[in-house]
Structure 1
Amino acid sequence: MPVDDLWYLNGRAADGSRLPSKRHGRGKRWRVRWTDNLGETRTQLFERKVDADRHDANVRADLSRGQYIDDRAGRITVAALASLWRDAQLHTDSTSVRVEHAVRLHVLPGLGAQQIKDVRPSHIQGWVRDRSTVLAPTTLRVVYTYLSSMFAMAVRDRLISASPCDKGIRLPPVGRGSRVLPTAEQVHDLARLLPARLAATVYLAAGCGLRLGEILGLEVDDLDFDVREVHVRRQLKVLKGRQPFLGPVKTSTSARTVELPDVVAVALRQHLADGCDAVEVDDDTDRRRPVRRAARLLFKGAGGEPVNAATFSRTWASARGAVGLPARWGIHGLRHYYATVLIHAGASVKTVQLALGHSTPTVTLNTYVHEWPDVLDRTRLLIDGALGQHETAAMPAVSRA
């Protein structure tokens, strides 16, 4: 990989002086030539020899270590990178829709036209500042995770040498806020105000901690009144342009068995008193073998069809307002109610995690850590119990000389 002087020829004059080339004094003087990792001959021009020598040394080192990155690879735009990244993900259908929405509305307008090699941490920080004016801190963190993952893929594929998201980007803090929890009376009132065909959904959320999709995807065979258990095996999903269909649960740990309290069992027995007819529905629970089958879903729409989550939300809004709960407070709030009841009764993090179907105890702890009551007081009692039974040893006076 020679460094060539383009202003002079290789030969010399009779007097020993160097022979100037036709381009002597014009353009950049020094040229570096090398063969890249794909076997292509590459060149780059420099004005100063010191810069050419440095580039030559760096290229040699990168090639020998297998860390060479073609500077032309980074010329693709952020929009093109986003498309490559999305195509490589193993997202479920619903997650793919959310990701597409977030990238289209919040990543591409500000960064999409830039070449990825030109994106600097300052550009990312500016993007964060701009998006923080329209997105809640928690939502912004989710979208930033997508963006960071895109650039991480570009680094792995050797399109760029480093990610601009790895340089101490500051995100707006997420406030803990206060979670609105209903009273027991409000829970019962919600069930009373919903249509009879949907009333038991309240008790499955507040008494078993099920998500709405899990509730609407329950079939009669998922209930075991003798053992007093509910088996969560699938959920009812809704995608744009498609009728509600059965699909896999949110995560592998979301498939679980939940204890069936008496109050929930009574509500479900009343719900099933008039029987439960089957309804034809697409079942994509096993993505490799999707089928259309008859399902004895516990909950159906007014016309006997699977319940559409959007339709449920409109029905829910009326009942929620009537019992005095705030706007935008959804049935997921009853899942928080369930978790809080367990925690305040002394349940461990692991117990709550398994009941809710969280992927890890960390998720549970991060969500509900402030609900474990009197943690500081318990810590003090433990230390006082261990050390307070003995007289404190006399501490030597501290000299101030």
Structure 2
Amino acid sequence: MASKSIAKRPNNRWRARYRDDAGKEHAKHFDRKVDAQRWLDEVTTSIVSGQYVDPNAGRMTFRTYAEEWRASQPHRVTTQARTKSALENQAYPWLGDRMLSEIRPSEVQAWVAKLSAKNLSPATVHVIHGVVSGIFKAAVRDRRVASNPCEATKLPRKERKQVTPITMEQLDRLADEVPEHLRALILFTAGTGLRQGEAFGLTVDRVDFLRRTVRVDRQVQPLEGAGWEFRPTKTSSSVRTIPLPRTTLETLSAHLAAHPAGQHGLVFGDVDGEPLRRSSFGQTIWHPARKRAGLPEGVTFHDLRHLYASLLIRHGESVKVVQARLGHADASETLNTYSHLWPDSDDTTRAAVDAAFEGFGGGAVALSS
């Protein structure tokens, strides 16, 4: 801080002022001298601690800063689209034209309440709020604002929907309703648990027919506008090698014999060998097939992954094995999603204790006062 001072004004108020290192003057008026001194002390402390924020740094609209932030993010195309939609449809109408430094925690809380009143799901509200909070975190790092007004927001409680896997009979009906060249895609995904992008991006060179394994280390992603490219998996934990069951391998072999991989080496593609696109696949392939197969409206491609997980659990695989096969970052994600599918341990607990106490005191424990 280059200089600072406190002076009494003709109107009996106290004027506290300071010049920052750039020579720019900042001033504020107070009724009491002690309040003016406190303000100067706080500014001095923030400068010394490296937390000083120029009061004018936040004099730009949330929309302007958010668009700068969005352009600098290394988001995937799908994430870019979701972020843009969240901002343009839900954040900008309420916060877009406000100055960064003027947005208060109470206003963020009121905005969240408005989102909930629009019948958006709690999970959706969490995502939208997370985008806005991420922007304010960046603004704090950039010294645009002193704090993040989203930090203490009370969000609607998310109710975790319990996974109910489809049955093998439903899987069979579904596979029969998709075009013939995609039937193996449905069965292969249910037999390996791949995510949609991973299945769409699978190439022949990732399949080891001798060792009966498939290597998952990338996925196909559409580019904005047109085109596509191979990109890394969702997370580093998603890179994995999955053992192929005999039936799945036979399905895959028969598929490739009838539909050889094209110029891109894709195992599953459209009739021209080009990558499948999620949006068109859902609209023209998945939903019509699901409806014809008589499956509930809420069943998505991801339910094939849930079916795979349920089969592993049903046949006694541990949490760590299921985690590794699905490519989850940690076991808690696996347990949070599928814990209800593991066999109930009540009888095992009773048997363990009964075995320990068998023969103890004639088979019963005597309690004495």
Please give the TM-score of this superposition, normalised by the length of structure 2.
Answer: 0.88
Name the aligned partner's letter for residue 269 of structure 2: K
Name the aligned partner's letter for residue 160 of structure 2: R
RMSD: 2.5
Match of 2:48 among 64, 77, 80: 64
Q: 2:133: which partner in 1?
A: 148
Name the aligned partner's letter for residue 200 of structure 1: A
Q: Check if 1:226 corresponds to 2:229.
A: no
Cα pair distance change 1:319/1:47, threshold 3 Å: same
Name the aligned partner's letter for residue 274 of structure 2: E
Q: Please report how far the alpha carbon of residue 103 of structure 1 lies from its aligned counterpart in structure 2 after TM superposition.
A: 1.5
Instruction: Measure the CA separation in 2 of the matches of 1:71 and 1:371.
Output: 55
Name the aligned partner's letter for residue 251 of structure 2: A
Q: Please report how far the alpha carbon of residue 39 of structure 1 lies from its aligned counterpart in structure 2 after TM superposition.
A: 4.4
Q: Please report how far the alpha carbon of residue 388 of structure 1 lies from its aligned counterpart in structure 2 after TM superposition.
A: 8.4
Cα pair distance change 1:375/1:88, threshold 3 Å: farther
Q: 1:139: which partner in 2?
A: 124
Name the aligned partner's letter for residue 333 of structure 1: D
Instruction: Measure the CA separation in 2 of the matches of 1:39 and 1:303.
Output: 66
Greater fraction of residues in helix:
2
For residues 231-310 of structure 1, the aligned pairs below 5 Å read: 231-274=215-258, 276-279=260-263, 295-310=264-279
Instruction: Measure the CA separation in 2 of the matches of 1:119 and 1:315.
Output: 45
Alpha-carbon contact 1:233-1:248 (below 8 Å) kept = yes
Instruction: Measure the CA separation in 2 of the matches of 1:5 and 1:298.
Output: 80
Query: Identity over aligned residues, as a percent?
Result: 39
Alpha-carbon contact 1:36-1:63 (below 8 Å) kept = no
Q: 2:5: which partner in 1?
A: 2
Q: 2:300: which partner in 1?
A: 330
Q: Please report how far the alpha carbon of residue 84 of structure 1 lies from its aligned counterpart in structure 2 after TM superposition.
A: 3.4
CA deviations over 1:143-178 (Å, ceiling 9, x no partner): 1111122222222333222222222x2211222334
Q: 1:199: which partner in 2?
A: 183
Q: 2:61: which partner in 1?
A: 77
Alpha-carbon contact 1:205-1:332 (below 8 Å) kept = no
Name the aligned partner's letter for residue 296 of structure 1: G
Report the secondary structure of 1:258's partner residue. Answer: strand
CA deviations over 1:230-270 (Å, ceiling 9, x no partner): 11132222244113433222222222211101111111111
Alpha-carbon contact 1:74-1:159 (below 8 Å) kept = yes
Name the aligned partner's letter for residue 162 of structure 1: S
Report the secondary structure of 1:142's partner residue. Answer: helix
Name the aligned partner's letter for residue 143 of structure 1: I
Q: 1:42: which partner in 2?
A: 26
Alpha-carbon contact 1:222-1:232 (below 8 Å) kept = yes
Alpha-carbon contact 1:37-1:63 (below 8 Å) kept = no
Instruction: Measure the CA separation in 2 of the matches of 1:131 and 1:190.
Output: 36
Cα pair distance change 1:84/1:393, threshold 3 Å: farther
Alpha-carbon contact 2:77-2:224 (below 8 Å) kept = no
Match of 2:338 among 351, 360, 368: 368
Name the aligned partner's letter for residue 7 of structure 2: D
Cα pair distance change 1:382/1:43, threshold 3 Å: farther
Name the aligned partner's letter for residue 197 of structure 1: H
Instruction: Measure the CA separation in 2 of the matches of 1:377 and 1:162.
Output: 52
Alpha-carbon contact 2:15-2:27 (below 8 Å) kept = yes
CA deviations over 1:10-46 (Å, ceiling 9, x no partner): xxxxxxxxxxxxxxx4xx6322122325443332233
Single out whichever of 63-72 and 117-126 deviates more from structure 2: 63-72
Cα pair distance change 1:373/1:120, threshold 3 Å: farther
Name the aligned partner's letter for residue 157 of structure 1: D
Structure possessing the higher relative contact order (Cα contacts under 8 Å, 6 or more residues apart): 2
Q: Please report how far the alpha carbon of residue 338 of structure 1 lies from its aligned counterpart in structure 2 after TM superposition.
A: 0.8
Q: Please report how far the alpha carbon of residue 387 of structure 1 lies from its aligned counterpart in structure 2 after TM superposition.
A: 7.5
Higher-Rg member (1/2): 1
Q: Please report how far the alpha carbon of residue 208 of structure 1 lies from its aligned counterpart in structure 2 after TM superposition.
A: 0.3
Cα pair distance change 1:176/1:68, threshold 3 Å: closer
Name the aligned partner's letter for residue 149 of structure 1: G
Gaps of at least 5 residues in structure 1 are 8-24, 280-294, 397-401
Alpha-carbon contact 2:219-2:232 (below 8 Å) kept = yes
Q: Check if 1:339 corresponds to 2:315.
A: no
Q: Please report how far the alpha carbon of residue 139 of structure 1 lies from its aligned counterpart in structure 2 after TM superposition.
A: 1.7
Please give the TM-score of this superposition, normalised by the length of structure 1.
Answer: 0.82
Instruction: Measure the CA separation in 1 of the matches of 2:359 and 2:335.
Output: 32
* Number of residue pairs the alignment of both structures matches: 361
Gaps of at least 5 residues in structure 2 are none
Name the aligned partner's letter for residue 155 of structure 1: V
For residues 140-219 of structure 1, the aligned pairs below 5 Å read: 140-167=125-152, 169-219=153-203
Alpha-carbon contact 1:301-1:308 (below 8 Å) kept = no
Name the aligned partner's letter for residue 343 of structure 2: P
Match of 2:70 among 63, 86, 93: 86
Q: Please report how far the alpha carbon of residue 376 of structure 1 lies from its aligned counterpart in structure 2 after TM superposition.
A: 5.4
